[in-house]
Amino acid sequence: MIEAHGLVKRYGSTMAVDDLSFFIRPGLVTGFLGPNGAGKTTTMRMILGLDAPTQGSVTVGGRSYRDLPAPMREVGALLDAKALHGGRRARDHLLCLARSNGIPRSRVDEVLRIVGLEGVARHRAKGFSLGMGQRLGIASALLGDPAVLIFDEPVNGLDPDGICWVRTLMRALAAEGRTVLVSSHLMSEMALTADHLLVIGKGRLIADASAEEFVRSSSRQSVHVRTPQAAELAARCRQAGAGVRAGTSSDVIEITGMDSAAVGRLAAAHGVVLSELIPVKASLEEAFMELTRDSVEYQAAGAPR
Amino acid sequence: MTGATIARTGPDHRAAYRPATFGDVLRSEWTKLRSVRSTFWALTVTVVLGIGLGAVISAAAAHGYAKSSVSGKLSWDPTAVSLDGIGIATLAIAVLGVLAISSEYSSGMIRTSLIAVPKRGRILAAKSLVFAMVTFVVGEVTSFTAFFAGQALISGHAPHAALGDPGVARAVVGAGLALTALAVLSVAAGTLLRHPAAAIAAMIAVLFVLPGIAQALPDSWRNPVTEFWPTQAGGQLASVHHAAHTLQPWPGFGVMCLFVAIVYAIAWTLLDRRDA
């Protein structure tokens, strides 16, 4: 498990991470979400002892990372797939890391097999594609067979096949009771992988909830209705306190603040004929956009929303 | 790909492993050093330059001996002449030492390394120790070979030295020791400056440029500078003849070691405190 208390990181006048507290449980894939520049990588660097927090503390398994007796046996991390010496062969790269924590040589071949790189074990890393680099990074995270895994944007540069593989791997690791923290700026990816979400924007915690709760709490749930008596139903709904927006055509309206059963009852009570009645759940992606709209650091001018 | 192949012992395996030791980090740093090609090339250059250049200088100096002045003959140091090539070969060691850590910064490998070994002092100590030991072995092989080759070329044209002569064995071993001190200095410089180009430039300045500038200064300035300049003071260990305005061999090497220790301490402190 990973535990942070009042974590703050300031670079000059920029607040990269602002009073972040969280508890990441074992047995789940926790998605760490936020727009670019939200402070995800900085937080991970503080967990891994690369950056010292300006204030606050973070522990892994109850201990600060620098105090772990054999870090790779407890925490596996992939921060940046290109963080290696390109002139070194893949197998040697892993061997250097394994040696530093007293991990046997046989485990190097084992993780190469797990990530499917055994065929290029003797190739120098500079010839690797981004996807192969990600696999090598994942292999190094798995070397120590750790109880806690931290991945920063692990699907970057992977093809659909690779993305599916990473997703399966994350879920399998969590199912074995490990703590898995995965960052991403892509909500759609997290929707398929994460059980729990930690959302940050501009360094602050925005949400800490299960993926399901996260969508439910979004205000963007609506009911899509197609009816020849659109104007009449719209008026009735407004009277009942719901919000109504015009739909894609004149016989379609979108109703918010009222669930589909209530809309159906209202229509029946006033003899309104319905040809379509569809509850529309906000996607995780939309919920995310809504939540982080105010905390996107670099927004295009004249953005539509 | 199933979950079963990922877990060897499952996540509840904490009792199954031992803490990582300094010996583990040493083995890791040895693996790092031997698994990049630049190591092989830099060490080859050191040996070839040290021996080859030493031989050329020895042959040339021996032929010039008969025509040299009395003072030239009085200060004739066949040991130092045969070890002269190593002075140029230091550059290869300096570059390799700087790259040993600064290439980790330029590639990003340093983050991977520090995640694996968060006790940062251990990384610096292990890296320096491994590189110092490799340099010591290569340095001694080079200096002994250069000495014997040089003396063979000198004999017959000028007085030559034997390993049993006073101060000669100390000078030959000393050439390797001075190279080893320089190896530690360059790892420390690489840690301090982090950028390969900056650290290599700094090493060239310390080794060649600043002592060269000192030669242009008036005597009253030049003499103390050449006497105490760390790399020149350390080089006294590789001479038999004691020139004016230079330190004795061991005190000279002491000055070099003190300088290395200071730079190393600064590098250690910064590595420990800086965000990586």
B6/A82 touch (CB, cutoff 8 Å), yes or no: no
Beta strands in chain A (DSSP E): 2-11, 14-24, 29-33, 55-60, 75-78, 148-152, 179-184, 196-201, 204-210, 222-226, 243-246, 252-256, 276-280
pLDDT digits (tens, 9 = 90+) for B98-151: 999 999 999 999 999 999 999 999 999 999 999 999 999 999 999 999 999 999
Q: Measure CB to CB from residue A83 to each of B35, B112, B119 and give the nearest one.
A: B112
Does residue A51 fall inside a structural domain? yes
State whether A129 and A272 are in the same domain. Answer: no
Contacts 24+ apart (CB under 8 A), B177-180: B177/B136, B177/B139, B177/B237, B177/B253, B178/B234, B178/B235, B178/B237, B178/B238, B178/B253, B178/B256, B179/B86, B179/B89, B179/B90, B179/B93, B179/B135, B179/B136, B179/B139, B179/B142, B179/B143, B180/B132, B180/B135, B180/B136, B180/B139
- Cα–Cα distance, A268 to A224 (Å, whole number): 16
State whether A202 and A227 are in the same domain. Answer: no
Residue A14, number of CB atoms within 10 A of its CB: 9
State whether A117 and A230 are in the same domain. Answer: no
Three-class secondary structure of residue A304 per DSSP: coil
| SS3 track for B225-273 | HHHHCHHHHHHHHHCCCCCCCCCCHHHHHHHHHHHHHHHHHHHHHHHHH
- Cα–Cα distance, B29 to A77 (Å, whole number): 20
A68/B1 touch (CB, cutoff 8 Å), yes or no: no
List the CATH number of the domain containing A272: 3.30.70.790
List the CATH number of the domain containing A50: 3.40.50.300
State whether A135 and A271 are in the same domain. Answer: no
pLDDT digits (tens, 9 = 90+) for A76-121: 999 988 889 999 999 999 999 999 999 999 999 999 999 999 999 9
Does residue A290 fall inside a structural domain? no
Match 């924007």 to its residue by tokens.
Answer: A201
ipTM over cut 0.85: yes
Does residue A301 fall inside a structural domain? no
pTM of the predicted structure, to 2 decimals: 0.85
State whether A151 and A246 are in the same domain. Answer: no
Question: Closest chain A residue to B25 measured between Cα atoms?
Answer: A100
List, in order, residues 6 or more apart from A159 with CB less than 8 Å away.
Answer: A131
- Cα–Cα distance, B74 to B63 (Å, whole number): 16
Show the tokens assigned to A31: 């998605």
State whether A171 and A113 are in the same domain. Answer: yes
Shortest Cα distance, chain B CAs vs residue A102, angstroms: 6
State whether A203 and A232 are in the same domain. Answer: no
User: Could you tell me the residue range of the domain that residue A212 belongs to?
Assistant: 2-216
Tell me the chain B residues in contact with residue A140 when contact means C-beta distances shorter than 8 Å.
112
State whether A211 and A231 are in the same domain. Answer: no
Q: Is residue A142 within a helix (H) or strand (E), and if so which, with residue range?
A: helix A130-142
State whether A116 and A31 are in the same domain. Answer: yes
Match 């050191």 to its residue by tokens.
Answer: B46
State whether A139 and A165 are in the same domain. Answer: yes
Beta strands in B50-181 (DSSP E): none
Does residue A239 fall inside a structural domain? yes
Does residue A287 fall inside a structural domain? no
| Tens digit of pLDDT at every position of chain A (305 positions) | 899 999 999 998 889 999 999 999 999 999 999 888 889 999 999 999 999 999 999 999 999 999 999 999 999 999 988 889 999 999 999 999 999 999 999 999 999 999 999 999 999 999 999 889 999 999 999 999 999 999 999 988 788 899 999 999 999 999 999 999 999 887 777 878 899 999 998 899 988 988 878 777 665 678 899 999 999 999 999 998 888 888 888 899 989 888 888 899 999 999 999 999 988 876 666 777 777 776 665 555 544 44
Tell me the chain B residues in contact with residue A8 when contact means C-beta distances shorter than 8 Å.
none
Tell me the chain A residues in contact with residue B17 when contact means C-beta distances shorter than 8 Å.
70, 73, 102, 144
Q: Measure CB to CB from residue A50 to each of B11, B32, B115 and give the nearest one.
A: B115
Based on the structure, what is the number of domains in chain A?
Answer: 2
Does residue A98 fall inside a structural domain? yes
Does residue A298 fall inside a structural domain? no
State whether A17 and A112 are in the same domain. Answer: yes
State whether A117 and A210 are in the same domain. Answer: yes
A186, A216, A246 — which closes off a domain? A216
Does residue A285 fall inside a structural domain? no
